[in-house]
Amino acid sequence: MSHTAHIRSHRKPRRTATSSLAMRVGVTGGVLSMAAAGASASANAAEPVTQTLELPTLTADLATQVAQSADATQQAAANYQLQAERDAAATKAAKQAKADLAEAKKKAEAKKKAQEAARKAAAERASRSTERATLSATAGTSTTSTSSSTATGSAAAVIAFVKAQIGDAYVSGGTGPNSWDCSGLVQAAFKQVGVDLPRVSQSQSTAGTQVSLSNLQPGDILYWGGAGSAYHVGVYVGDGMFVGAQNPSTGVVEKPLSYDPPSGAVRVL
């Protein structure tokens, strides 16, 4: 037996393949564990970042909702204002329509009365034709008979018409129904009883038989200026009064003959 047979060897024992594999597995497992822990820690650390990235989207949506709400409020206010303006306009139009209707009724009633008087006078017009023929034969002569103050027949209808227009405006060229000039009023009055007169004062002053101012009868046409060159006309309504569309400041008025003495008169009824 050798002297060294019982002496322990000082050499490190050899690692077996199994030990090396185990060690490598252990190291690998440790590394994987550390990697997993790091990944977990990274994932946990990333969560606040993900939430922070969502905040701008929420803020943009909220801003859009606020803007839409503001637009809706502004549109509603505009709609309320428009409706208020429409309501005010409708109220004003209704008041004006009511006033116009009242005025139209007043005019219609006055004209209706004039037309009724004209119909009642139709039977008398034939007899007055004889009177016109007699007056034509004596045209240019003066008479001293007393002027009549009572209107009858067609003359009454003419007078009723012109009196119904008292207060209307004077407008040059006006032919009614609410504004007149002098010859327009006279022409319309006689048209109510079926007498067609010329449109202008000059022609109306020669449309009938010339009569003396001392022999006036209700319904006679008064003129100012010369016969055939008259510049103004009116209607004698009896009792020394006449009705005419005088001027823009007075409109249609009833005045005494002394207010503006006429130059002459013609009779067509």
Strand 251-256 vs strand 221-224: parallel, antiparallel, or unpaired? Answer: unpaired
pLDDT for 238 equals 96
Query: Which is more confidently placed, 216 or 4?
Result: 216
The pair of three-digit structure tokens given for residue 254, joined into one six-digit string = 């009833």
pLDDT at 3 over 80: no
pLDDT at 199 over 60: yes
The dihedral over CA atoms of 244, 137, 154, 183, expressed in degrees to the nearest 10, equals: -30
Average pLDDT over residues 250-262: 96
Min mean pLDDT across 32-41, 82-91, 163-172, 226-235 is at: 32-41
Burial of 198 (0-12, 13-18, 19+ CB in 10 A): middle
Which amino acid does the sequence have at 56?
A: P
Average pLDDT over residues 174-183: 96
- For each of the domains in the chain, give its residue range(s) and CATH number, in order of start: 107-267 (3.90.1720.10)
pLDDT for 39 equals 47
Q: What is the residue whose two structure tokens read 């809706």?
A: 72
Question: Shortest CA distance to 206 belongs to which of 228, 176, 231?
Answer: 228
Positive or negative, the CA dihedral 183, 185, 186, 187 is positive
- DSSP labels for 101-165? HHHHHHHHHHHHHHHHHHHHHHHHHHHHHHHHHHHHHTTT----PPPP----HHHHHHHHHHHHT
Q: What is the residue whose two structure tokens read 């022609």?
A: 203
Decide: helix, strand or coil at residue 237.
strand
Strand 264-267 vs strand 209-211: parallel, antiparallel, or unpaired? Answer: antiparallel
Distance between CA atoms of residues 59 and 65, nearest Å: 10
Min mean pLDDT across 98-107, 174-183, 192-201 is at: 98-107
Average pLDDT over residues 219-227: 97
pLDDT for 146 equals 36
Query: Which is more confidently placed, 151 or 80?
Result: 80
Sheet (strand 251-256) strand order = 209-211, 264-267, 221-224, 232-238, 241-247, 251-256
Most confident of 38-42, 69-73, 104-108, 232-236: 232-236
Per-residue pLDDT band for 50 (boundaries 50, 70, 90) equals low
Average pLDDT over residues 223-243: 97
Query: Which is more confidently placed, 165 or 120?
Result: 165
Query: Which is more confidently placed, 74 or 234?
Result: 234
Let me know: does 86 contact 132? Beta carbons within 8 Å: no
Burial of 55 (0-12, 13-18, 19+ CB in 10 A): exposed
pLDDT for 133 equals 46
Positive or negative, the CA dihedral 52, 57, 58, 60 is positive
pLDDT at 161 over 60: yes
* pTM across the whole model: 0.49
Q: What percent of the chain has pLDDT over 90?
A: 43
pLDDT for 190 equals 97
Per-residue pLDDT band for 104 (boundaries 50, 70, 90) equals confident
Which amino acid does the sequence have at 68?
A: Q
Decide: helix, strand or coil at residue 252.
strand
Sequence-ordered strand ranges (E) for 163-207: 169-170, 179-180
CA distances to 114, 129, 267 from 68, rounded to whole Å, are 68, 86, 82
